[in-house]
C-alpha cells in the first residue's frame, strides 16, 4: 500500500479522544481519509477513518455515519474488517477499524494485470463469504470494488467499509440534487433508476469485480460516469472468456447470472452466489491459494521509501602487461635460387584452380536441395531423404488440420541445405478433438466465440421452440453437448424461438378419453378432470375445458377437462298413505312435479301408489294414484 507520511497533514500526531494516536497517513477517498494509529488503551495498531471536515459539519451525515458504524460493528466475520469504535474529536467524526497490513486488490491488479481463474475464485470465495454474513445481518455494502478488498501478506482476505457506503463513499456517482453512493463501474443498473440498493445490488457489484479479476479490466469504458452508467443499464456484461483465454464456460455463466440487468434474474443474495461458486470450483478442481502479494507491496507499512545511490566504480581486469616480444634472431640469408618459368606457371595454374574450386564449393557445391516429404508416409520419407544424402530426426507427432494422421505434417530445415544436414520431421496425429461445450442460454455471438476458440465453426443455424431458453438465445448444438468433434469441423446452432403458442383443440361433447387423446396430440399436459352435473350433457362426456377450446396458449401447458356426471339426482319422498293434499305438497317441496290421478270418487282421499320412486332428476313428473 502506497502511503504519504508527510508531517504537513494536521491529523498526524493528534491524540483522538485521548486514546488513539494518529501516526501516519495511509489513503484518501472521496469523503474520508484513513490513518494508521495506535490504541493507547489496548496497545494495538488500528486504522482510523476520519470523515472530511466539511461533511463533519453536516449533522445528518454524521448521524448516519454513526448509525451505520454501530450496525457494522455488529458484524463479526473472519473475512470482514472489524469495526472497533466510533467517535468525534474536535468536530472530526472518525471510525476505528481493524488494521490490515498489505495491499488492496486494486494494487494487486495493477501489478499482475489479472489473476488466474483459480486465484480469482479463491478471492471471491472470501468476498462472497463476507457479503453473505452482511446480508444475513441485514446490511448492504453498496460499494463492492477492488479498493475495498484487502489482502494481507499471510494470505488473509478482508472486505472493508461494510454498511458505511451510505455515509462515506469515494468516486461517487451523482444525479440532479442527490448522491448515489457507489463506484460507477460496479453500480447496479436499478440503482441508477431509483437509487435503491439491496443484497442483489451487492451481488451485481461482486459479479463485476469477479469479471475484473478474471480479465484484468472492467467490462465497459466511457467518457464520463453518466455515460458509463448508461452502458451498464443498457448492455449485458460480456462473458469473461471473450476478453481472456482459459476461462471455463461455468465461470462465464456465474458472472452472467450475477450481473443480470434484471435484479429478479440474479441470485437473491451473496449466499446463493457463494454456494454456486464453491460448487463450480469443486467440480472444476480449481483450488488455488490467495494470490501472493508483489514484493514491492509487502514492505513494512511505515518504512520510508528511499533510493540509495552509490558511486559505481568500474574495475578493469587486472594483470601484468604482456611481456615484450624477444628480438628477432638474425638468420643466415639463403642463397638466391633461380626461378624457372615452368614452375611458376604450374603454381599459378594450381592456385587459380584451387580458388575456382573453393569458390564453387562455398557458393554452391556444398549445398543440396532437401526434397519435400510433407504428406508422405514415414517409410517413404525415410527413403526419399536417404536418397538425397541427408540425415533426419523424428520429433513427437503433432496435431494437424490439413495432414492426414500417420503422414508427415512438419519438415524443418527443408529447401537449400548443406550435404549431410539433419532434417527434423514430425508425423501428423490428426486434428485435436474437443467435447462440445454447453452453450445453452448463451447469445449467438458468445456461443460462436466459445466454439471458435476450439477451432470449431458454426456452419448453420436452426430455430426451435423452447419452454426453457429465452427467445433469441442458443438452445443447443447439433451434434449435442459433450459430443466429441475434431478441430476444423462445423456444427449447427439451435436458436430458441421462445414459447410456442397454439389454440386448444375442440374437445366439447367428446368422451373423456377422446378429448384427452386430442389434447395430448396437440402437445398439452392433462390435469385432473373436474366432475360436474349436467342435465344436457351425458355422463362421461366433456362439457368444456379450462382454458376453453379455441384459446391460444403456450404449448405444453396443463389443460383440465370438465366432465359431465349427468344430471344431479334427488330422493323422491315416500308419500304413499298420505292424503292427496299432503302428498302433492311434499312432492312439490322436493322439487318434483306431482301428477295426482283419482281412481275412485268416494274414497278417503289417500295416495295408495306413486311412480317413479327412488333417485330422480328434479322436475321429474311423479304420478300419485289416490282414491
Q: Which residue has the cell 359431465?
A: 564
User: What HEC string does 524-542 produce?
Assistant: CEECCCEEECCCCCCCCEE
Q: How far is CA 281 from the centre of its chain?
A: 12
CA distances for 548 relative to 46, 557, 559, 562, angstroms: 71, 13, 9, 10
3-state secondary structure 141-186: CCCCCHHHEEECCCCCEEECCCCCCCCCCCCCEEECCEEECCCHHH
CA–CA separation, 163 and 393 (whole Å):
68
Q: Is there a contact between 433 and 487 (Cβ–Cβ < 8 Å)? A: yes
Sequence-ordered list of residues with C-beta below 8 angstroms from that of 262, at least 6 positions apart, any chain: none
C-alpha span between 626 and 68 (Å, rounded)? 94
In sequence order, the β-bridge partners of residue 28 are 33
Which 8-state DSSP code applies to residue 473?
A: S
Beta-carbon contacts of residue 355 (< 8 Å; ≥ 6 apart): none
Three-state secondary structure string covering 259-309: CCCCHHHCCCCHHHHHHHHHHHHHHHCCCCCCCCCCHHHCCCCCCCCCCCC
Sequence-distant (≥ 6) Cβ neighbours of residue 252 within 8 angstroms: 239, 240, 241, 442, 446, 450
Instruction: Please choose, from the candidates 34, 177, 54, 142, the residue with its C-alpha nearest in 3D space to the C-alpha of residue 98.
Output: 34
Catalytic residues: 143
Amino acid at each position: 500500500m502506497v502511503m504519504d507520511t508527510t508531517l504537513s497533514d494536521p491529523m498526524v500526531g493528534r491524540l483522538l479522544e485521548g486514546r488513539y494516536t494518529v501516526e501516519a497517513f495511509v489513503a484518501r477517498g472521496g469523503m474520508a481519509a484513513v490513518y494508521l494509529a495506535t490504541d493507547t488503551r489496548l496497545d494495538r495498531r488500528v486504522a482510523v477513518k476520519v470523515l472530511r471536515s466539511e461533511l463533519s459539519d453536516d449533522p445528518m451525515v454524521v448521524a448516519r455515519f454513526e448509525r451505520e458504524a454501530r450496525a457494522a460493528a455488529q458484524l463479526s466475520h473472519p473475512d470482514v474488517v472489524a469495526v472497533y469504535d466510533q467517535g468525534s474529536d474536535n468536530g472530526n467524526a472518525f471510525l476505528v477499524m481493524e488494521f490490515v497490513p498489505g495491499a488492496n486488490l486494486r494494487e494487486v491488479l495493477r501489478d499482475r494485470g489479472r489473476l488466474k481463474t483459480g486465484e480469482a475464485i479463491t478471492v471471491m470465495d472470501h468476498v462472497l463469504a463476507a457479503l453473505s454474513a452482511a446480508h444475513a445481518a441485514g446490511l448492504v455494502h453498496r460499494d463492492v470494488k477492488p479498493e475495498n478488498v484487502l489482502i494481507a501478506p499471510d494470505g488473509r482476505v478482508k472486505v472493508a467499509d461494510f454498511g458505511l457506503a451510505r455515509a462515506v463513499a469515494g468516486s461517487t456517482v451523482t444525479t440532479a440534487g442527490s448522491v448515489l453512493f457507489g463506484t460507477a463501474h460496479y453500480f447496479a443498473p436499478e440503482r441508477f433508476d431509483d437509487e435503491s440498493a439491496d443484497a442483489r445490488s451487492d451481488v451485481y457489484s461482486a459479479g463485476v469485480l469477479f469479471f475484473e479479476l478474471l480479465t484484468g479490466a472492467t467490462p465497459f469504458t466511457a467518457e464520463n460516469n453518466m455515460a458509463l452508467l448508461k452502458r451498464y443499464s443498457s448492455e449485458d456484461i460480456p462473458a469473461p472468456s471473450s476478453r481472456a483465454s482459459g476461462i471455463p464456460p461455468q465461470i462465464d455463466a456465474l458472472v452472467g447470472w450475477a450481473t443480470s440487468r434484471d435484479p429478479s434474474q440474479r441470485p437473491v443474495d451473496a449466499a446463493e452466489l457463494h454456494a454456486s461458486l464453491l460448487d463450480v470450483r469443486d467440480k472444476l478442481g480449481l483450488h488455488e491459494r490467495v494470490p501472493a502479494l508483489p514484493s514491492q507491496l509487502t514492505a513494512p507499512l511505515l518504512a520510508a521509501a528511499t533510493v540509495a545511490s552509490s558511486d559505481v566504480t568500474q574495475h578493469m581486469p587486472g594483470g601484468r602487461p604482456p611481456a615484450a616480444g624477444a628480438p628477432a634472431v638474425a638468420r643466415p640469408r639463403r642463397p638466391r635460387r633461380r626461378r624457372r618459368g615452368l614452375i611458376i606457371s604450374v603454381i599459378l595454374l594450381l592456385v587459380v584452380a584451387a580458388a575456382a574450386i573453393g569458390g564453387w564449393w562455398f557458393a554452391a557445391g556444398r549445398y543440396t536441395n532437401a526434397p519435400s516429404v510433407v504428406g508422405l508416409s514415414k517409410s517413404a520419407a525415410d527413403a526419399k531423404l536417404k536418397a538425397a544424402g541427408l540425415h533426419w530426426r523424428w520429433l513427437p507427432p503433432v496435431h494437424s488440420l490439413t495432414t492426414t494422421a500417420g503422414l508427415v505434417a512438419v519438415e524443418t530445415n527443408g529447401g537449400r541445405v548443406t550435404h549431410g544436414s539433419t532434417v527434423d520431421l514430425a508425423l501428423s496425429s490428426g486434428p485435436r478433438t474437443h467435447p462440445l461445450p454447453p452453450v445453452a442460454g448463451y447469445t449467438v455471438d458468445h456461443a460462436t466465440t466459445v466454439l471458435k476458440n476450439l477451432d470449431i465453426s458454426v456452419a448453420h443455424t436452426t430455430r426451435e421452440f423452447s419452454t426453457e431458453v429465452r427467445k433469441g438465445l442458443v438452445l443447443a448444438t447439433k451434434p449435442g453437448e459433450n459430443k466429441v468433434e475434431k478441430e476444423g469441423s462445423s456444427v449447427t446452432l439451435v436458436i430458441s424461438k421462445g414459447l410456442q403458442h397454439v389454440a386448444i383443440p375442440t374437445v366439447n361433447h367428446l368422451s373423456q378419453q377422446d378429448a384427452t387423446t386430442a389434447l395430448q396430440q396437440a402437445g398439452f399436459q392433462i390435469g385432473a378432470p373436474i366432475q360436474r352435473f349436467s342435465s344436457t350433457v351425458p355422463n362421461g362426456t366433456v362439457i368444456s375445458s379450462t382454458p376453453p377450446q379455441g384459446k391460444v396458449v403456450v404449448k405444453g401447458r396443463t389443460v383440465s377437462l370438465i366432465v359431465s356426471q349427468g344430471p344431479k339426482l334427488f330422493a323422491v319422498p315416500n308419500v304413499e298413505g298420505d292424503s292427496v293434499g299432503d302428498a302433492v305438497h311434499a312432492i312439490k317441496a322436493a322439487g318434483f312435479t306431482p301428477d295426482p290421478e283419482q281412481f275412485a270418487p268416494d274414497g278417503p282421499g289417500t295416495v295408495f301408489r306413486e311412480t317413479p320412486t327412488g333417485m330422480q332428476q328434479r322436475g321429474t313428473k311423479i304420478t300419485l294414484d289416490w282414491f
